[in-house]
Structure 1
């Protein structure tokens, strides 16, 4: 696996599709802060996205044209509108009245504007490992050279939901995860300086090669010399570029990734601490425990107890 695939798999990434939004005439819809990473794609027409607080940033409203899509990576309220002067209506009652999977807004007839939407949910540690590394709004305009793959995924989702063949919802949700991967790829290619941490490292080919090595075999005792050889650069070059992009050295990154893998095993199963330690490259339980406490601030035993299915709150 590569780092992006590793992290998305570790976080148990899942897509959930909502009713579409059709609008005509003067309209504006206000959404409460989502408990998912929200996405919308404009399949027809155009509108404005207004995000509360830091989400909007210094640039103000985001103009969304036909074919554009966006990710909202923070849990903040937002508004979609076709008219800048119309008072927004709350989204909850509007979507509660949705018919055939489509909610309708505005004082006009038809669907001058149509948006496909949904959200992504993740498991534990998503905020630190992924979401905090991204800007509040990731906007992918349709006209950019690399956006064709996103458009392909969106068109395929549209067909599944419109034609409703067997297992349409399952297929559409898997396609949405495909879309997420493409959106992240395009964002990294287009704005490498708008991300931080390991995501920023993927935008540097030298650092990306070193990250791929660390993720391919995290139990191996990697040296900077080995990683530099794999990336075909000197040790000093790799160390400097890795530190600059990721914010920490290769050894520290490897330790943290090993602890993330160990934490996943502690959350998910009943493997012994000794077995978990061996699987992530530690020779003993005590060595893993020391590293675990240093990275996550708690012992493996306490972490397992706090994150076992019996102690976690049930999802609503």
Structure 2
């Protein structure tokens, strides 16, 4: 797999489409803080989005969507001057089990949902994302537009397997949003996700992810990038925000954390698979990154049939 797929798989990403919101007139609806990532896709009309702590409201129009990655309370509105009401007070006003209506509906329609991430690993993605991602129409054939139209169809007429279809559509929206972030050329952005836009650094991150247990050195990683050792080390640190060996160690420890939680492998076996010749050296690295010893980390009790 590629690094983005690796990370999303490690995070055990689960997507949920919670339903639609149909409104008319002057309105404003506030949403409480949350865990994970929330998204809204605008199917009809337009709205303003304001997020706690963000300086400017954002206008989101039909065919666009937004993702929120920091869990901050937010408000969507047709009119920023309207007095906001809590979304929870509107939930009883459901038209058909899937769409919440406000002021009779008919002018604005959105579909919302959220993504949950594995406990203890979520920062791997959340820490490199901006608080607000505004996903606009991309040039050429639009994956985003297709997803939104399919969401509209699923809302309009329930079909067998609709929940699974909605989850897959939501996941496509997230991946497309992340791809567009990369394609947007945000030169000031730092982190593994944005480093994937650089072909040479992407090749190195690919190599680390494909064989995390290899005996990597800065020199052998520089060879993957076809760069000199010094130029590579400087470029990697500039784009990723970590030295090559620091990134490798953190990726190894994230993999180790997942195996400690979800497998029966011994600590020595996990350490050896990730390039550590002794349990002692692996345990020291794990404790330095994860702030606890491997033996103290998330082992699940064995299940009983």
TM-score (norm 2): 0.92
Distance 1:190 1:273, change over 3 A: same
Q: Offset at 1:72?
A: 0.7
Match of 2:290 in 1: 296
Counterpart Cα distance in 2 of 1:79 and 1:146: 31
Match of 2:24 in 1: 24
1:269-308 equivalence runs, <5 A: 269-303=263-297, 307-308=298-299
Paired residues of 2:204 and 2:221 also in contact (CA < 8 A)? yes
Distance 1:214 1:52, change over 3 A: same
Q: Choose from 91, 94, 97 the match for 2:90.
A: 94
Counterpart Cα distance in 2 of 1:227 and 1:40: 40
Matched, 1:131 2:126: yes
Q: Choose from 97, 102, 105 the match for 2:102.
A: 105
Counterpart Cα distance in 1 of 2:280 and 2:37: 37
Distance 1:188 1:206, change over 3 A: same
Paired residues of 1:41 and 1:69 also in contact (CA < 8 A)? yes
Secondary structure of the 2:187 match is helix
Write 1 or 2 for the structure with the bigger share of helix.
1
Counterpart Cα distance in 2 of 1:124 and 1:146: 37
Q: Offset at 1:11?
A: 0.6
Q: Offset at 1:282?
A: 1.5
Counterpart Cα distance in 2 of 1:116 and 1:9: 25
Paired residues of 1:95 and 1:103 also in contact (CA < 8 A)? yes
- Give the alignment's Cα RMSD to 1 decimal: 1.8
Number of equivalences: 300
Match of 1:217 in 2: 211
Gapped regions of structure 1 (runs ≥ 5): 311-316
Matched, 1:35 2:32: no
Q: Offset at 1:223?
A: 2.6
Secondary structure of the 1:116 match is strand
After superposition, the C-alpha distances for 1:122-173 in whole angstroms (9 at most, x for unaligned) are 002344211111111011123x427822222222233233332221111210
Q: Offset at 1:48?
A: 0.3
Match of 2:2 in 1: 2
Matched, 1:234 2:228: yes
Counterpart Cα distance in 2 of 1:217 and 1:146: 36
Match of 1:67 in 2: 63
Counterpart Cα distance in 1 of 2:37 and 2:158: 25
Paired residues of 1:134 and 1:195 also in contact (CA < 8 A)? no
After superposition, the C-alpha distances for 1:187-235 in whole angstroms (9 at most, x for unaligned) are 1211433543211211222111110110111111123333233222222
Paired residues of 1:262 and 1:276 also in contact (CA < 8 A)? yes
Match of 1:183 in 2: 177
Counterpart Cα distance in 2 of 1:170 and 1:241: 42
Q: Offset at 1:17?
A: 0.9
Match of 1:117 in 2: 112
Paired residues of 1:141 and 1:147 also in contact (CA < 8 A)? no
Secondary structure of the 1:192 match is coil
